Structure 1
Amino acid sequence: MLDHAIFWHVYPLGATGARIRDWSTEDEGHRLTDLIPWLDYLIDLGANGLLLAPIFASTTHGYDTLDHYRIDPRLGDDADFDALMAACHERGIKVLLDGVFNHVGIDHPMVADGGPIRRLPDGTPEPWEGHGDLALLDHEDPRTEELVVDVMNHWLGRGIAGWRLDVAYSVPAWFWAKVVDRVRGQHPDAVFLGEIIHGDYLELVEEGHLDTVTQYELWKAVWSSIRDVNFWELEHALTRHDEFVAQAPMQTFVGNHDVDRIASVVGPEGAALAAVLLFTLPGIPSIYYGDEQAFTGVKGEGFSADDPVRPPLPATPEGLAPLGQWMYELHQGLIAARRRHPWLVHARVEVLETENEAISYRVHSGDDSLTVHLTIEPTMSARLEFSDGETAEFSW
């Protein structure tokens, strides 16, 4: 599956306009099916995968799970999930769910009922990274393994293709290996994507038996190099990226639900250059919903810090402002070129020439190759030269 996967990454609670905090039964609804009108948009974009942030019952933002078997009542119920899955399957769209198996919400019944929760010496739940509303699961407790295996199999049995593993870097790799091996015994084609921000990427893939992990090093180098007009940072990151992809595929991105919008960080022209990088480099790309429309948004502070980067979508794609159409068409063109050259996914990359304001690199696999020339100053531009004679030029 991952050899041809391009994901559209959506944060459902935000995209459907659900209230994140202080919600009540009055806020419950059937919002999950609001994503169905966007599935053809996903296909028209050129993607074939839907990566969903948490959809399970939670207290606030979805990462404070209350019940791994229940759809968040703000999003709907099992019937809504089944309707969305049926619509995805009809279009050949593969769905990954976000599994939060490092911690649960402090109000999860397991916390009070003696479940597999890590405890401090005084018996209180151990919080995750100081967040008192999140209680760490005890991965040494066999009950945690049984829970995770059962949850994964439950939703795989209902039609999903795999799992994004939230904060996978905080969970022992041996735990993932045991869980993944057991789940693959029942669902051999299941896909496992681990979130890792810092740490040993390849170790998590290999020792955790995962398919791929998030390439945060490359994400950071992309926006930082464009913003600071310093492609030397990107050169270093591309060298590292080549070392990674030589051993395992990397999940690549220039935006997600946890970071400032790329168009806010580097401007819309810089975001276009970042899109060129995303779709010309080896890896398994994902597009965070709205980045293909040059959405802007910067994280704030406090409880509502993430709201600006997790906005609601209009009811249908027709409700989008026309201002982002140029970015959408750029994404379509880049994805189409990638589809015509599927060898890019597992290719190698080498930097040919670097200056502060310009970089050239070659992506190659066997007899196939792509040479990319990027400039930031005096103009923002990109030139693509495939070995089969296909070329493309952009300037902004």
Structure 2
Amino acid sequence: MTEPAWVEHALWWHVYPLGFVGAYPADPPPTPAEHRLRRLADWLDHAVALGASGLALGPVFASRTHGYDTTDHYRIDPRLGDDTDFADLLARAHERGLRVLLDGVFNHVGRDFAHPEWLRRRGGQVATFEGHGDLLALDHDNPAVVDYTVEVMRHWLARGADGWRLDAAYAVDDEFWARVLPRVRDAHPDAYFVAEIIHGDYPARVRAAGFDAVTQYELWKAIWSSLNDRNFHELDWALKRHNEFLDVFVPLTFVGNHDVTRIASQLNDIRHIGHALVILMTTGGTPSIYAGDEFAFRGVKEERFGGDDAIRPEFGSPPIPLDDTEGDIFRLHQFLIGLRRRHPWLHTARTTPLRVTNRGYVYRTGSGAESLLVALNTDDAPMPVALGELGVGAGRIVAGSGAPPEQVVGHAEVAPHGWLVLAPQGPAAG
């Protein structure tokens, strides 16, 4: 593994800045004099209170629309403000112990990009990204594009950024990243590089390209799908794959981001938000929480123009008023993130299924001598768990829905649509 040592303790609060500060969509768009990026800086204390250790930013560089049509990688988007606003955000984040991850769009650029000679052409026409006419594909075989990418990444790391999310990395040949990343690491050996890879052979791409991590979309899909379908066999299969990934790299894990329907809208039963979060916080990976998910915000992604707007809303000034459900979900996030932070070995934990049914799942998550037991129930009836039958003598209840914490039990009952996390207390007798 190539990831820096600090990533073991990383937990990201992920923000899409242009939407968060009301800069896109906006008519008229804000000017640099409005310094919108400073609105985001006002939320850093919230990120700390949540339990995050890092701020994962969406695009902040000059673009025409949504940020992924970058026109100048060296300039802060004027709708967000200027260079001093970004420097202020970095400084205030680092003062609070928050790392900062930037979003680098190096597969394609916007139509106003200054180097049209660097664009990829097919049959005399400029190639586009997935058919989007305003997203022009770069020619990654061109040494100038390699050099430019290296220089941009080094520039912002030297300014104080801690790493890069590599947007649409799945669309770029691994050889390009293999030429870029070693040169960046030579100058910034403590930087972190996570690639947006949606499907395919994750370990092979990590080995070939040299990424530290990739986005774990397989686990994301299995979490909400298994809960909706009441089919934990799907989750069990995904976690077995996840164990194999952890032999090569530690994935970036999530139940929501700026590109997908929010988890509170994705789930058929709002009672299962806790289950999704428990899975995220008790499995190996580098977790990321998409801003607003900690409040159970809703939003559905649609495949149309403007279809991302609902999942990328504007935030006001903190704190925001919460109803009972939103407050409960926020406190649950705080508690489970705290659990994660108190057990840093979970970063590389492997899971072992102990019992799998359609509506009930018990697994051990562990690393070395450390382990926890997780029991999930999506049934309308209670789920009994006899620890002796699972090879465990007893368990101390660490957390759960409707269960008294710290109680040591040999037999537990998971409430309907409930969950439990237990610390095993030794092997079963005999």
TM-score > 0.5, shorter chain as reference = yes
CA apart distance, 1:120: 1.9
Q: Partners of 2:324 and 2:358 in 1: how far apart?
A: 34
- Please state how far the C-alpha of 1:323 moved relative to its aligned partner: 4.2
Amino acid in the other structure paired with 1:393: G
Q: 1:224: which partner in 2?
A: 225
Residue of 28, 32, 35 corresponding to 1:30: 35
Q: TM-score, normalised by structure 1?
A: 0.94
Any idea what SS the aligned residue of 1:109 has?
coil
Name the residue aligned to 2:326. 324
Q: Which has the larger radius of gyration?
A: 2
Contact persistence 1:164–1:195 (CA under 8 A): yes
2:256 aligns to what SS in structure 1? coil
Question: TM-score, normalised to structure 2's length?
Answer: 0.87
Any unmatched runs of 5+ in structure 1? none
Kindly state the Cα deviation for residue 107 of structure 1 after the two structures are TM-superposed.
2.5
Q: Which residue of 2 aligns with 1:73?
A: 78
Q: What per-residue deviation string (whole Å, max 9, x for no partner) do you get for residues 74-130 of structure 1? A: 10000000110110111110000000000001222222xx2x1101212x3101111
State the shift of 1:352 in Å.
1.5
> For 2:218 and 2:250, how far apart are their aligned partners in 1?
14
Change (3 A) 1:309 1:151: same
- Indicate the residue corresponding to 1:240 in structure 2: 241
User: Following TM superposition, by how much is the alpha carbon of 1:302 offset from its aligned partner in structure 2, in angstroms?
Assistant: 2.2
* Residues 350 and 365 in structure 2, CA contact (< 8 A), matched pair in contact too: yes
Asked if 1:214 is matched to 2:209, the reply is no
Percent identity for Structure 1 against Structure 2: 51
Q: Which residue is equivalent to 1:63? A: 68
2:310 matches 1:308: yes
Tell me by how many angstroms 1:285 deviates.
0.1
Q: In the aligned structure 2, how far is the partner of 1:259 from the partner of 1:381?
A: 32
Matched residue, 2:290: 288
Matched with 1:117 is 119
Distance in 2, matches of 1:241 and 1:247, equals 10
Following superposition of structure 1 onto structure 2, how do residues 112-191 of structure 1 map, counting pairs within 5 Å? 114=117, 116-122=118-124, 124-191=125-192
Is 2:13–2:52's contact at 8 Å kept on the other side of the alignment?
Answer: yes
1:2 aligns with 2:7: yes
Once the two structures are superposed, residues 291-325 of structure 1 have per-residue CA deviations (whole angstroms, 9 ceiling, x without a partner) of: 11100000134221000000111211245556411
Counting only pairs closer than 5 Å after superposition, residues 41-52 of structure 1 correspond to structure 2 as 41-52=46-57
| Aligned counterpart, 2:92 | 87
Once structures 1 and 2 are overlaid, which stretch shifts more, 201-210 or 180-189?
A: 201-210
Query: Aligned residue pairs: how many?
Result: 391
RMSD: 2.0
Stretch moving more, 297-306 or 55-64: 297-306
One-letter amino acid matched to 1:75 = L
Aligned to 2:369: 367
1:154–1:381 Cα change, 3 Å: farther
Give 2:25's match in structure 1, choosing from 20, 29, 41: 20
- Judged with a 3 Å threshold, the aligned counterparts in structure 2 of structure 1 residues 382 and 7 are, in CA distance, closer, same or farther, namely farther
Deviation of the 1:392 alpha carbon: 1.4
Unaligned runs of 5+ in 2: 1-5, 403-417, 419-430
Structure 1 residue 339: Cα displacement: 1.2
Cα drift, residue 390 of structure 1:
5.4
Distance in 2, matches of 1:382 and 1:249, equals 33
Contact 2:233 2:356 in 1 (8 A): yes
CA distance in 1 between partners of 2:201 and 2:27 (Å): 38
Structure 1 pair 382–279 and aligned structure 2 pair: CA distance change class (3 A): farther
Compared CA separation, residues 57 and 388, structure 1 to 2 (3 A):
farther
Q: Can you list the C-alpha shifts for 1:21-55, whole angstroms capped at 9, x where unaligned? A: 66556587311111112111111111110000000
SS at 1:257 equivalent: coil
Partners of 1:381 and 1:48 in 2: how far apart? 35
Cα deviation for residue 365 of structure 1 reads 1.1
Report the Cα offset of residue 19 of structure 1.
Answer: 2.9
Q: Counterparts of 1:331 and 1:152 in 2: how far apart (Å)? A: 32
How many Å separate the matches in 2 of 1:381 and 1:262? 24
Q: Quick one: structure 1 residues 243 and 61, their matched pair in 2 at CA, closer, same or farther if it must change by over 3 Å?
A: same
Aligned AA (2:280):
L
Q: Distance in 1 between matches of 2:234 and 2:14?
A: 26
Aligned mates of 1:358, 1:32 — CA distance in 2: 45
Distance, in Å, in 2 between the alignment partners of 1:84 and 1:321 is: 30
SS at structure 1 position matched to 2:347? helix
Q: State the Cα distance separating 1:380 from its structure 2 match.
A: 9.1
Q: Is the 8 A contact 2:365 2:372 kept in 1?
A: yes
Give a deviation string over 1:199-248, Cα, whole Å, max 9, x none: 11112211111111110000000000111111111111011011111221
Of 93-102 and 349-358, more deviation after overlay is shown by: 349-358
Q: Which among 397, 400, 420 is matched to residue 393 of structure 1? A: 400
Distance 1:333 1:363 in 2: 18
- The answer on whether the counterparts of 1:368 and 1:388 sit within 8 Å (CA) in structure 2 is no
Q: Which has the higher helix share?
A: 1
Once residues 383 and 143 of structure 2 are traced to their aligned partners in structure 1, the CA distance between those partners, rounded to angstroms, is 54
Aligned counterparts of 1:270 and 1:370: Cα–Cα separation in 2: 20
8 Å contact 2:24–2:66 — kept in the other structure? no
Would the aligned equivalents of 1:246 and 1:348 in 2 still touch at CA under 8 Å?
no
Partner of 1:345: 347
Tell me, yes or no, if the aligned pair for 2:110 and 2:136 is still in contact at 8 Å: yes
- Partner Cα distance (2:382, 2:54) in 1: 30
Displacement, 1:350? Answer: 1.3
